[in-house]
Amino acid sequence: MSHQRTNGQKTIGVLTSGGDCAGLNAVIRAVVHRAIETYGWRVIGINDGTRGLMERPLRYEELGIKLFTGTILRLGGTILGTTNKGDPFAFPMEDGTKRDLSQDFIDGYHELGLDGLIAIGGDGSMAILNKLAKQGNFDLVMVPKTIDNDVPRTEYAVGFMTAVSTGVEALDRLQPTAASHDRVMILEVMGRDAGHIALNAGIGGGADVILIPEIPYNINQVAAKILALRDQGRTHALVVCSEACEPLGGEQVYQTGEGGQKRYGGIGHRLGEEIARATGAETRVTVLGHVQRGGTPSSHDRIIASAFGVRAVDLLAEGKPGHMVSWQHRQVVDVAIDDILGQSRSVDLNDTLVKTARGLGICLGD
For the annotated catalytic residues, the residue numbers are: 148
Q: Which span sits near ligand F6P by CB under 6 A: 31-39, 103-111, 144-152, 225-233?
A: 144-152
Q: Does 165 bind ligand F6P (CB under 6 A)?
A: no
User: Could you tell me if residue 17 is left (phi over 0), alpha (psi between -120 and 50 degrees) or otherwise beta?
Assistant: beta
Q: Which span sits near ligand F6P by CB under 6 A: 36-44, 96-104, 143-151, 172-180?
A: 143-151
Q: Does 192 bind ligand F6P (CB under 6 A)?
A: yes
Q: Which span sits near ligand F6P by CB under 6 A: 2-10, 185-193, 223-231, 297-305?
A: 185-193
Name the minimum Å distance from CB 149 to ligand F6P: 10
How many residues bind ligand F6P (CB under 6 A)? The answer is: 11
Task: Mention every residue, 6+ apart, whose C-beta is less than 8 A from residue 43.
Answer: 11, 12, 13, 14, 31, 32, 35, 36, 62, 63, 64
What is the rounded distance in angstroms from the CA atom of residue 226 to the CA atom of residue 82?
A: 42
Q: Does 104 bind ligand F6P (CB under 6 A)?
A: no
x/- letters, 288..317, toward ligand F6P (CB under 6 A): -----x------------------------
Residue from 172, 191, 175 nearest 183 by CA: 175
Name the minimum Å distance from CB 251 to ligand F6P: 17
Residue choice 120, 147, 187, 229 for contact with ligand F6P (CB under 6 A): 147
Residue choice 190, 212, 238, 271 for contact with ligand F6P (CB under 6 A): 190
| CB closer to ligand F6P, 109 vs 160 | 160
Q: Does 279 bind ligand F6P (CB under 6 A)?
A: no
Name the minimum Å distance from CB 18 to ligand F6P: 7
Name the minimum Å distance from CB 191 to ligand F6P: 5
Q: Does 144 bind ligand F6P (CB under 6 A)?
A: no
Residue choice 148, 214, 246, 301 for contact with ligand F6P (CB under 6 A): 148
Distances (CA, A) of 82 to 46, 141, 339: 9, 17, 26
Q: Does 264 bind ligand F6P (CB under 6 A)?
A: yes
Q: Does 19 bind ligand F6P (CB under 6 A)?
A: yes
Q: Does 51 bind ligand F6P (CB under 6 A)?
A: no
**Site residues, ligand F6P (CB under 6 A):** 19, 84, 146-148, 190-192, 243, 264, 293
